[in-house]
Structure 1
Amino acid sequence: MGSWKKKKKVILKEDVSELGKKGELLELKAGFFRNYLFPLGKAQILTPLAFREMRIEEERIEAEKKRVKEEAEQLARIFETVGAFKVKRKGGKGKLIFGTVTAQDLVDIIKAQLQRDVDKRIVSLPEIRETGEYIAELKLHPEVSAKVKINVYAN
């Protein structure tokens, strides 16, 4: 093993806490690589083939992220062109309604009107306890959100 230098360039095969994420290129002490990362299969020495594979994987991941963001933007356009979602609740005195309009109510209405499944955890609503017009925000992607109008009526 005379070819070992003090430092080695390695590629991580998986996330390693305190060190880096999968696919990251690092320069580490040879002993740490040889005695810890390599036996556990967490890293490999940088070779031209491994480097090429790493680049291909990065490009695939970037393309997937771009596709997901484009889908979210398309969904945001659909939500914003729909107009307002109408919610009917049993009315109380004046503008008050019985109960509140929740994120789950909005998710059910979206599913009924647009045939789209939306996770209620991405919906942020103001507290709705009376009739009127409200704006809800749907966080479809870390960089894409859509605002939808909700009209609450008492019957």
Structure 2
Amino acid sequence: MTKRVQIVLSEDILSLGRTGDLVDVAPGYARNFLLPFGKATPVTPAVMKQVEHRRAKEIERQVTIKQEALDFKIALNTIGRFTVKKQTGEDNVLFGTVTNGDVAQVIEKSTKKEIDRRNILVPEIHRTGKYTVQIKLHSEVTAEINLEVVSY
């Protein structure tokens, strides 16, 4: 059975891990490729301390991002309803459809905070009326907003 060597990655390596990860690799891979090219550093007590500190900072940052998403979800619920104005024809049928970009613009106009349109899930909207739209604010936080489509 071959012995494995522990190293800390100095940069992202596709098949191995991300910067700061502690990984086990074959000794030859570490000695001949990773260490000479500066892609990794050997594990020492000082390096381990840095890795733990970096992990703690990353966890703290993730908690902060999640809390901001929860606060924004509360703000969206407080606003209540967003209105999109579209051109309509007979029987309140829209010319075109309401897209996630339209919803992102309405939210940005109301809250002054930019939302990535790819995180907005809009149902098929072809008529005026009231709809529910889902917005993914964080991997664990999803908000639902009420959207009213009206004619102009």
Answer whether TM exceeds 0.5 for this pair: yes
Give the 3 Å change call, closer, same or farther, for CA 38–70 of structure 1 in structure 2: same
The structure with the largest alpha-carbon Rg is 1
Distance 2:97 2:4 in 1: 62
Distance 2:88 2:5 in 1: 71
In structure 1, runs of 5+ residues without a counterpart are: 1-5
1:94-149, CA deviations, whole angstroms, 9 ceiling, x for partnerless residues?
Answer: 23122222222212211222222222121110121101111111111111111111
In structure 2, runs of 5+ residues without a counterpart are: none
What is the TM-score when the length of structure 1 is the normalising length?
Answer: 0.87
Larger fraction in strand = 1
Fraction of identical pairs, as percent: 33
Which of 53, 56, 69 is the equivalent residue of 2:53? 56
Tell me which residue corresponds to 1:16: 13
Q: After the TM superposition, which segments of 4 or more aligned residues of structure 1 sit over 6 Å from their partners?
A: none
Distance 2:44 2:140 in 1: 36
Distance 2:6 2:97 in 1: 58
What is the TM-score when the length of structure 2 is the normalising length?
Answer: 0.88
> Structure 2 counterpart of 1:110, which letter?
I
After superposition, residues 1-155 of structure 1 pair within 5 angstroms as 7-155=4-152
Aligned residues: 150
Kindly report the root-mean-square deviation, in angstroms, between the aligned alpha carbons of the 2 structures: 1.7
Give the 3 Å change call, closer, same or farther, for CA 151–46 of structure 1 in structure 2: same
Distance 1:100 1:7 in 2: 57
Distance 1:121 1:106 in 2: 11
Give the 3 Å change call, closer, same or farther, for CA 75–44 of structure 1 in structure 2: same
Distance 1:22 1:96 in 2: 52
1:33-83, CA deviations, whole angstroms, 9 ceiling, x for partnerless residues?
Answer: 111110111111111100001100111111111111111111111112211
